[in-house]
Amino acid sequence: MTLTMPWQPNALADLSECLDLITADGTVPGGVIAHGTFDSEPSYLTSGIVAPECGDARPSPDTVYDVASLTKVLATWLLVGTSLMGGGFTLDTPVRELLTGIPAEAPGGRVTVSQILAHTSGLRADTRLDQYRNRTEPLAELIFSEDLIAEPGAGHRYINRGFILLGLALAHYRCRRLDELAAELWQQLGMTSTTYGPVPRSAQVAPTEQRLSGGPRLWGMPHDDNAALLGGVAGHAGVFTTPADLAAFATHLLSSYSSDGPLGRWLTASMQPQAEIEPGLDRGLAWILADDDQVAYHHGFTGTSLYLSPATGRYLAICTNAVYQHQDNRTRLAPLRALALKAITDEP
């Protein structure tokens, strides 16, 4: 059983100050940080406004954000884990076996479920689904037929198209749309505001980028172009959720970990390092691992992050619409994300 540990006294104050600073300097219109432990009610830090389009509406636990690549853990990773529990395939199963009509000799025919989750598949790194316009072959077949850029399992390279492929495979294998499969699980976890886009515009939905000068911002539509080309439903991006639902997701995972439940065992398995990203950071199954592989986290390009510390029972989620100004998020959000990682790893 996990013994929950309190936060380091200054950690949350530092996070709040940093969120206020990046709001004040225009990096983000505003944002919410959810934090807590699996055996307590979540708490929230907020700053700024949702966006100028939303008037004076302030971000809240119920503000809806496009979480971009957090889709990989909120939907695809979660669905792989629950599917594995039902048997029928394993992490070492070639993904083509979850589909039909893909020959074993196809360039991507050897790529396994675990290799896609660990970003070691060797598939092409550029996503660019627009290159397939006017092609009549199924998308999975097109992806599998392309030459690999590395031997499967040889090393880490972040690849969105692997998760797109895995999303297609899960839907085919389970005989249901990916968004339907995910929605069923989210309901079971109490994530009642989590959905694939598009979602209706409102003051509680954070707009993202203005693609054309003078044009409207993306608002309720997936920011990721490739998810949009797939109708908003994809294995790598397209999910909209709230800080409150991210807290519910983290709470369920950490609670299951503490009680050795099925989702907790899946989290444990996923926190076994599969490939080195850089010194001090490993890739597990979908998650980035830090602090000697004791902390799992993932980022979303739009300005979101989720951190889990199973050993201490703590979690932390960041929700911002940092792409509102079309800025370099990795650079501008780096201080906030660094403080978040420090907060969740610090001993009290």
- Check whether 318 has a pLDDT greater than 70: yes
Residue 69 pLDDT greater than 60, yes or no: yes
Q: Residue 299 phi/psi, 5° resolution? A: -110, 160
> In Å, what is the CA distance from 176 to each residue of 116, 171, 172, 184?
21, 5, 7, 11
Q: Give me the CATH code for the 11-71+192-345 domain, please.
A: 3.40.710.10
pTM for the model stands at 0.97
Write the CB contacts of 131 (distance below 8 Å, at least 6 apart in sequence): none
pLDDT-derived band at 326 (thresholds 50, 70, 90) equals: confident
What ranges do the domains of the chain cover? 11-71+192-345, 76-179
pLDDT band at 28 (very low <50, low <70, confident <90, very high): very high
Rounded mean pLDDT of 184-198? 97
Residue 283: phi and psi, rounded to 5, are: -105, 125
- Report the pLDDT value the prediction gives residue 4, as an integer from 0 to 100: 78
Burial of 203 (0-12, 13-18, 19+ CB in 10 A): middle
SS3 label, residue 49: coil
* pLDDT number for residue 330: 73
* 250/229 Cα distance (integer angstroms): 30
- With a cut of 90, say whether residue 331 has pLDDT above it: no
Per-residue pLDDT, 14: 95
Q: Check whether 348 has a pLDDT greater than 70.
A: no
Whether 101 shows a pLDDT value over 70: the answer reads yes
- Got the DSSP string for 161-217? HHHHHHHHHHHHHHTS-HHHHHHHHHHHTT-TT-EES-----TTB------STTSPP
For residue 289, which phi and psi values (nearest 5 degrees)? -115, 135
DSSP state of 74: I
Is residue 289 very low, low, confident or very high in pLDDT (cuts 50, 70, 90)? Answer: very high
Measured CA to CA, the distance from residue 112 to residue 191 in angstroms comes to 30
Is the model's pLDDT at 1 over the cut of 70? no
* Pairwise CA distance, residues 19 & 48, whole Å: 9
Query: What is the identity of the amino acid at 204?
Result: Q
Chain centroid to CA 24: how far?
27
Who contacts 338 (Cβ-Cβ below 8 Å, separation ≥6)? none
pLDDT at residue 102, as a whole number? 94
Closest CA to 308 of 38, 118, 45, 33: 38
Cβ–Cβ < 8 Å for 250, 287: no
